[in-house]
Structure 1
Amino acid sequence: MLKTGLAVAIALYAANLIGFPSPVFAGIAALFAIQPSIYQSFQTIVEQLQANVIGVSVATIAAYTLGVDPFVVGFTVVVVIGVTRYFKIGESTVAIAIIAVIAVMESTDVPVIELALLRFSSLMLGIISAFIVNLVFLPPKYETNLFKQIDRITSDILQWLRITTRHLSDNPSLKGEIYRIQQEVRRMDHTYLLFSEERIYFRKNRLAKARKLIVFRQLIATTRKSFDVLKAFHHLDERIKSIPPDFQTVLIQELDKVIHLHERLLLSFMGRIKRKNRQSLQDIAEPDIPHLVDTLIQMYEDNEKKIDDRLMFLPLASQLMEYHYHLDHLETLLHSYEKYHHTEKLEIFASKWRGNN
């Protein structure tokens, strides 16, 4: 938001300083060119240069051959959209080509060629201004933001899992929370994309970045799988009550172990857990999800209820097994990462929690 305003201000100021007749076009170009990362900004400047050239070229030819009648301008816009789609230019960039057409075919006393050059320069000034702002002003720390999102989303999911398995959740509230978490997961995926697109110019840093990407990808996959388990429990909330009480107790105990393991892995990656193993006040055993799933399936195989009642729990069993697999894989990755690359902790946590290690 701040970068957008600054880019527009710089573009307008520079256009006025140079003496362009319509500096507003530079401001509009800057508005469309601002991007959240340097890599995306570089991609945008290339695409918008192409769109600018196409728009100005087609508009100049149309103005010379057909004039600048409003219907001609509309026809030219259609042609430019078709050309940009043919060259597979992004939809967000097509706007610059359309603006270029309107800017060049504006009715003025200035010769078409001269007006086209002025408009082209004005639009490029706005694009370059946005690129400079993206380059000079440091982008958000996507690595830190991504982990904060993962930590927050996972905490919400695990909290609702605890509540739901004990039949304490309010169904409308949980339904609303599931929708909210889905939106948060989409934003998390977008942040991961921005983080993965950040360019690294030193070989040593590239290797560290690649290792972090692997860990973050598995953190996200595990968070997603915990969300799938929550949705499965929500779908079967009332039917789970038909499970024998003894097995319900075992189910809750095993899920508590899984939740504890997931939380412990996150805290370990953040550096909030002491590396030296000490006897805790109450040791929590490792979860045994495969045995739980086998017991669940066996219980309903021995049950005389109709087949539909037995099979309805198979999706839950499948989700639990996949969750178990992702947690196992995440634990392996984090142990390897801490053993061989413990110096590559997240900066925001490294200084804050170094004294605890």
Structure 2
Amino acid sequence: MKLGARMMKTGLAVGIALYVSNLFGFISPLLAAIAVVFSIQPTIYRSYQSIIEQIQGNTIGALIAIIGVYTLGNDPFIVGFAIIIVIGVTTGMKMNENTIALAVVAVIALMDSTDQTFMYFAFSRFTSMLLGIFAAFVVNLVFLPPRYETRLFNKIDLASTDILQWLRVTTRQLSDEPALKYEITRIQDDVRWIDHTYLLYSEERTYFKGQAFAKGRKLVLFRQLITTTKKSFDVLKTFHRLDDKIEQIPEEFQDAVVNELDKLISAHEKLILSLKGRIKNVHKQSLRRIEDPDIPKLVERLIHVYEESNNPDKLVFLPLASQLMEYHDQLEKLKRLLKSYQTHHKEAYIQTTQK
């Protein structure tokens, strides 16, 4: 079992909430623990948003519960009616699902039957839930702050490595069909996680103007890295779909496709290695000059093959030509962005490994 940072923070926050609740003699420490579970967030910014929204949601739930008890009582059907109202109000305010759920918990907890003075009972339970919300916020803020920049780069690096390896194997018709089909599904999941991690990274807030500009430049570079990775994946999926039709084109052109794609793959790999700081600056220009791919010329040759043949089945390779061109264009754009970034912002390096 792998213990993630969020799991550890949830357990720690629950422990803190229960300890403080017992220390101050709260009636319902369990409510503080429940509030923690609903309030823990993956980023500090989301945690800040969550604490504001959770306080609003719980206040709404508490007010409706108190009004309901004093006007209609706490009959089970009255509790259900109060919950309907709370859900309607919080949904109308476009609060997230966790906030709505915790507001509902607040209504149930406050409208529960008790022999104690109702206002004291309600205040104690409401305070317990606020304690859980604050405990989650403090733990999110202080303990194990996420490093989404490093995590995002590592996810892109791993996905790109898998895609480029499978491209090399597939273009030589050496790939195992079931294995490749499984890997394509897995890589699709990886790409979705990359998009999610990019969103979390973009939500991380900076506190100084200079940091904001540096973060913006990194976001542009990461967005292009992700776009290029997706284009390489599109090429892999296209080769997979056309695997049984590759033999319809001349062997000479097949060799040209493999050679040019190998150059694209090498260029893609070098850009990622350059981001890692594993390529010396004095060698970059010579390497680029030797292995620069010429995809437009390859596409012209493909069109020439179509013109020489009357076989309409060969039109199925037009999507491949399109995907190769798009991959090439995005790779060139990434190359220009990376060159500009490394030339003008050497001090603002991307954190590719954990400190």
Q: State the TM-score, normalizing by the size of structure 2.
A: 0.94
CA distance in 1 between partners of 2:51 and 2:337 (Å): 38
Instruction: Give the Å deviation of 1:207.
Output: 1.3
Count of aligned pairs between the two proteins: 349
Letter in 1 for 2:324: L
Does residue 214 in structure 1 map to residue 220 in structure 2?
yes
Residue among 177, 184, 189 paired with 1:183: 189
Q: How many Å apart are 1:279 and its aligned residue?
A: 9.6
Query: In 1, Cα distance between the equivalents of 2:238 and 2:66?
Result: 60
**Partner of residue 89 from structure 2, selected from 74, 83, 88:** 83
Give the counterpart of 2:11 among 5, 12, 27.
5
Give the Å deviation of 1:181: 0.5
Contact 2:153 2:352 in 1 (8 A): no
Contact persistence 2:221–2:338 (CA under 8 A):
yes
Residue 122 (structure 1) aligns with: 128
Q: How does 1:98-113 map to 2 (within 5 A)?
A: 98-113=104-119
Contact 2:57 2:90 in 1 (8 A): yes
Whether the aligned pair in 1 keeps the contact of 2:149 and 2:351 (CA below 8 Å) is: no
Shift of 1:327: 0.3
How far apart, CA to CA, are the structure 1 residues paired with 2:65 and 2:46? 28
Q: Is the 8 A contact 2:276 2:352 kept in 1?
A: no
Instruction: State the AA in 2 paired with 1:305.
Output: N
Instruction: Return 70-79 or 218-227, whichever deviates more.
Output: 70-79
Gaps spanning 5+ residues in structure 1: where? 352-357
Question: Which residue of structure 2 lines up, in the alignment, with residue 226 of structure 1?
Answer: 232
Q: Deviations over 1:225-263 (max 9, x none)?
A: 111111111111111121111100000000000000000
Please give the per-residue CA displacement for 1:245-299, whole angstroms capped at 9, x wherever unaligned.
1100000000000000000111111110011128979974310111111211221
Which residue number in structure 2 is paired with residue 355 of structure 1? Answer: none
Aligned counterpart in structure 2 of residue 319 of structure 1, from 308, 320, 323: 323
Task: Indicate the residue corresponding to 1:32 in structure 2.
Answer: 38
Name the % identity. Answer: 58
* 1:264-343 matches, cutoff 5 A: 264-277=270-283, 284-306=290-312, 309-343=313-347
Q: Deviation at 1:116?
A: 2.2
* Aligned position for 2:244: 238
What is the deviation of 1:316? 1.3
Could you list the structure 1 runs, at least 4 aligned residues long, displaced by more than 2 angstroms after superposition.
Answer: 110-116, 277-285, 346-351
Counterpart in the other structure of 1:354: none
Q: 1:311 to 1:132 in 2, by over 3 A?
A: same
Kindly provide the amino acid, as one letter, of the partner of residue 277 in structure 1.
H
Deviations, residues 12-32 of structure 1 (Å, cap 9, x unaligned): 111111111111000100111
Paired residue type of 1:48:
Q
Supply the RMSD in Å over aligned alpha carbons.
1.8
Aligned equivalents of 2:213, 2:189: Cα separation in 1: 31
TM alignment of 1:123-202, pairs within 5 A: 123-202=129-208
Structure 2 residue runs of 5 or longer lacking an equivalent are: 1-6
Return the alpha-carbon distance in structure 2 between the equivalents of residues 317 and 228 of structure 1: 12
- Pick closer, same or farther for the CA change 1:103–1:282 going to 2, 3 Å: closer
- Give the partner amino acid of 1:11: A
Tell me, what secondary structure is at the counterpart of 1:276?
A: helix
